[in-house]
Amino acid sequence: MNNSTASAAWYRQPLVWMLILIPLSAVLGGISMIYLAITTDDGLVNDDYYRYGKQINLVLERDINAKQLGLKASFEFSVENGTVSVKLDGNRIKLPDTISLSLLHATRANHDQHIKLTLTPDKNYHGLINKLIPGKWYVQLHTEQWRLSSELLYPDQNKLTFTPR
């Protein structure tokens, strides 16, 4: 009896490669997930959330003060030039020398920006801004006494109008 069929080498069998690739892909996927977990920071949870929750009444008081002062503002920025311009109007307020501008990203706290704007002779506030990433931003103009808030969708918008809430 003559056996003319020779068996092929193990590395030429598709079933063997399927049995090797399935566990290998799981190991490679796990390694890539560990790498992403170590190298990226989502920054979504504030460490001291309770203290910030207690301060909500102070924030609401500043919003009410802005409404009582009749504040309105228009905000325009150019990321290419790195400039911000704010025109502040109020019927019962002396314009302060500086105001604060906070640009808060909706999900990435590590991209937030806090900018001091200074009053110039043209009665507008000007400052410098860093590059923004695309997405939804919460924009706040504030001092110790009042606060104006709005939302920005970048890169679709580069102008905003603030009115008290």
Give the CA distances from residue 82 to residues 12, 76, 97, 116, 129, in Å, rounded to whole numbers and listed in that order.
61, 11, 21, 14, 5
Please tell me what DSSP assigns to residue 1.
-
Give the CA distances from residue 36 to residues 30, 43, 106, 109, 162, in Å, rounded to whole numbers and listed in that order.
10, 14, 21, 18, 39
Give the pLDDT mean for 106-125. 87
If one compares 67 and 1, the residue with the highest pLDDT of the two is 67
Q: How confident is the model at residue 58 (pLDDT cuts 50, 70, 90)?
A: low
Kindly report the pTM of this predicted structure: 0.63
Segments making up each domain of the chain, as ranges: 12-39, 49-162
Q: What angle do CA 133, 138, 62 make, to 5 degrees?
A: 150
Distance from C-alpha of 11 to C-alpha of 19, rounded to nearest angstrom? 12
Give the model's pLDDT for residue 64. 80
- What does the mean pLDDT of the chain come to? 82
Distance from C-alpha of 106 to C-alpha of 110, rounded to nearest angstrom? 11
Q: How confident is the model at residue 124 (pLDDT cuts 50, 70, 90)?
A: confident
Tell me which residue has tokens 């806090």. Answer: 114
Q: Can you spell out the DSSP letters for 12-80?
A: G-HHHHHHHHHHHHHHHHHHHHHHHHHH-----S-TTHHHHHHTHHHHHHHHHHHHHTT-EEEEEEETT
Task: List, in sequence order, every residue forming a beta bridge with 154; answer none if it has no partner.
Answer: 135
Give the model's pLDDT for residue 83. 86
Percent of the chain predicted with pLDDT > 90: 15
Give the model's pLDDT for residue 5. 58
Fold classification of 49-162 (topology level): Immunoglobulin-like (2.60.40)
Tell me the backbone φ, ψ of residue 147, rounded to 5 degrees: -150, 135
Q: How confident is the model at residue 51 (pLDDT cuts 50, 70, 90)?
A: low
List pLDDT tens digits, range 9-32: 888 998 999 999 999 999 999 999
Maximum CA extent, the chain: 111
Which of 13-22, 32-41, 45-54, 97-106 is predicted least confidently?
Answer: 45-54
Does 52 score more than 80 pLDDT?
no
List pLDDT tens digits, range 134-156: 888 888 888 888 888 888 888 88
